[in-house]
Amino acid sequence: MFLRREAAGSVWPLIAGDGVRLRCPKAGDYAQWAELRGRSRAFLEPWEPAWAADELSRAAFQRRLKRYDEEFRAGRVQPFFIFSADGGQLMGGLTLSQIHRGVVQSAGLGYWMGEDFAGRGHMKAAVMAVIRHAFDTLALHRLNAACQPHNMRSRGLLARAGFVEEGFARAYLRIDGQWRDHVLYGLVNPHN
């Protein structure tokens, strides 16, 4: 189910999935986001870019929201926070980024889950919902994703969501302060 919400002149998608609700981040999410990310820091850091000194500050969060809005308006990104089905509990985040149109019609998929909610099927539900959104609503042809070779939880998630392993990229992304190898995955829209 896809809903829409007006935000600062932009139409942001709201997506309902199996036990989850995805919507754009907003200023009122700051306290819940900072608390969840702070509590999950050791769990998340091995898989993410190095955290800035002010990573969890309100100012950093507001800069993030401003960047999201600019990128969304330009058609390059759709960021989502993942909430429980009732919309009350923030559990993680998911982003469609590097959205390309023209002959490419693709986007990159990235995600994070708070440690307390990992391994419970919430991320798979969110990924499946955003796949439907990407293919049915945005009419994209392809989604790309990448994860570190030893991140078996993420590799399993991508396989269960229908992504196919397509390659290996050496020193692909700077994660936790180091250039890390990544396994590359792709999913092609079966309807176009």
Average pLDDT, the chain: 93
Q: Tell me which residue range forms the domain holding 80.
A: 2-188
DSSP-based three-state secondary structure for 25: coil
Geometric angle at alpha carbon 168, from 132 and 137, rounded to 5°: 15
**pLDDT category of residue 10 using cuts at 50, 70 and 90:** low
| Helix, strand or coil, per DSSP, at residue 192 | coil
SS3 128: helix
Residue 87, Ramachandran bin (φ over 0: left; ψ between -120 and 50: alpha; else beta) = left
> What is the tally of structural domains in the chain?
1
102-130 average pLDDT score: 97
CA distance 105 to 143: 9
CATH number of the domain bearing residue 104: 3.40.630.30
Decide: helix, strand or coil at residue 105.
coil
CB 170 within 8 A of CB 182: no
pLDDT digits (tens, 9 = 90+) for 117-153: 999 999 999 999 999 999 999 999 999 999 999 999 9
